[in-house]
Amino acid sequence: MGKQRQQILAYCALVGGFDLLSSAYNFYYVKVFLNRYHIEESWFQLSQILFMVWNAVNDPLFAYCSDNKNFAMLKTRRSMILYAAPFFSLSFLIPWFQWSTNPVIVGIHLIIALCLWDTLFTFVGLAACCLFTEISKDTHIRITITRSAQMAALCGSFSVMILEHTSSGLQNFHAFQITTVLIALVSWYLMYYCGKHCHTHYDLEQMQHENKSADDVCHQKSEDESYWKQTWQIVSDTNFLAFVTTNFCQEFHRTFIYNFVAIFCDQLISSEEISQSTRSTLYGILPFASKLLVISIVPVLRIIPYKTVIRANFIWKISGGFFMYYVIGSNHPWILMFFFVLDGCFANGTFSLFNLPLSDIADDNMIKYNRKHPISSMVFGTNALFVKPAISLSPMLAVAVLNRYGYTHVQRFKGITPHPSTTSATPSGSQLEELKGAMFFLVCWYPIILGTIQFISWSFFKITNRTEKEIKVNG
């Protein structure tokens, strides 16, 4: 039991460090490049396309190497984290230090920042997901790990609130930069601790049977199966296809919320109605509240199957979007802000539960093909191959829509971030109203459309986990 507690503690350290970086990165990088560096739309879209292509390559590549190659740094999940942690922290810092005001250099800056970030994000993220699956095969322990990890993520989610208040909503950019460096250092130490102490269920078994030390353990890989054979085994599974469709829409939605909530609120809600300090607090609450939601509903997962809990989120998306658009409208700033927080809370909270069905898919694959060791990295990596493009497509679509309604033109006339090369006319009141109308439409109809697709696709997910089986037996 002591070993298991150490495993969970080390895994929680990883989640806390990982969330410190990812929460801040996802929340700020679009706003920084659009509002501060004034990146041109053509370069923004190109960077997202290249980012999407690299996403499609690196996830399955790293996944196959992790499960099938015996490189020194890939021999255990924790060694992957140990070696990659300092580089991951450094990749986090790249966007916050501007290279040049030249439009071409700004575009290249974003391309390099996104690709380096995603490389390390994928490498560490895959190892983290596999740790979750391989620490224990027991569903109840996985639920316990989920709750403990969300408590750690609760601390990590404070990075947005800290950055908002230290920089006064990016108005003091130098303070923002200093704070990001401190966050990167704390995150690196937490991931380092995980890399030294988090052994999986399979590590411990092999150490006991072969009397090996922690540093000598090396998983037996599936060398006899090709990448294409393993990939086909995964993608031909109906449960996997149902899951990735649902997950794609979830990633699309949560990326939209985290990248654009501050941008939309700045336009839809005036500073006279809600002050900047209050906004900063509410932005910080957004990732924080989702972790509280998961912590509070984890005990419910021991009684109600996670499939039912996840389905309830899709019902909320559809009904919440309709209610906000047709009943409330955009003229109630506090209700609108509350909707932003609630929508982001449910979107991110539900996403945090997705390791449970994906772990069940990995277990099911191991049983189905009679493996000694689950190909966890391949399952998570193949999932990422289909899902990660949503991270690029979501901001691409939103920026394209906003710029059709003059967002770049409006932004250049804002007193906070004036653009030195502006020579065109000041945007009219009707242009501002059209922009606000487009923003409000996106805010309400994204959850309606995505929630409908998810509700349908999730109905095809048929794996019955242990919790659900026990409910049926005892019921």
420 CB neighbour count, 10 Å cutoff: 7
Chain-centroid distance of CA 204 in Å reads 30
Cα separation, 45 vs 461, whole angstroms: 34
The pLDDT of residue 472:
45
The pLDDT of residue 395:
85
CB 360, CB 222: distance < 8 Å: no
Question: Is the pTM higher than 0.85?
Answer: no
Candidates 103, 41, 107, 47; CA nearest to 398 is 41
Q: How buried is residue 83: exposed, middle or buried, by Cβ count under 10 Å (0-12/13-18/19+)?
A: middle
Q: Which residues contact 296 (CB under 8 A, 6 or more apart)?
A: none
Cα separation, 315 vs 337, whole angstroms: 20
Number of domains composing the chain: 1
Residue ranges making up the domain that contains 263: 2-418+426-470
Residue 230 falls within a domain, yes or no? yes
Residue 83 falls within a domain, yes or no? yes
Residue 136 falls within a domain, yes or no? yes
Q: For 374-429, how does the pLDDT look when each residue is reduced to its tens digit (9 = 90+)?
A: 677 788 778 888 888 888 888 888 888 888 887 776 666 554 444 444 444 555 66
Sign of CA dihedral 351, 356, 358, 359: positive
Q: What is the CATH number of the domain that holds 167?
A: 1.20.1250.20
Q: For 166-183, how does the pLDDT look when each residue is reduced to its tens digit (9 = 90+)?
A: 888 788 899 999 999 999
Residue 263 falls within a domain, yes or no? yes
Give the pair of three-digit tokens for residue 198. 């988090």
Candidates 47, 46, 446, 450; CA nearest to 248 is 450
What is the gyration radius of the CA atoms in the chain, in angstroms?
22
348 CB neighbour count, 10 Å cutoff: 25
The pLDDT of residue 184:
93
Q: Which residues contact 326 (CB under 8 A, 6 or more apart)?
A: none
The pLDDT of residue 309:
87
Residue 475 falls within a domain, yes or no? no
The pLDDT of residue 205:
57
Sign of CA dihedral 274, 275, 278, 284: positive
Residue 268 falls within a domain, yes or no? yes
The pLDDT of residue 121:
87
CB 152, CB 15: distance < 8 Å: yes
The pLDDT of residue 54:
84
Cα separation, 118 vs 110, whole angstroms: 12
**In the chain, which residues have pLDDT < 70?**
1-4, 60, 63-76, 137, 197-225, 227, 374, 409-429, 464-475
Amino acid identity of 173? F
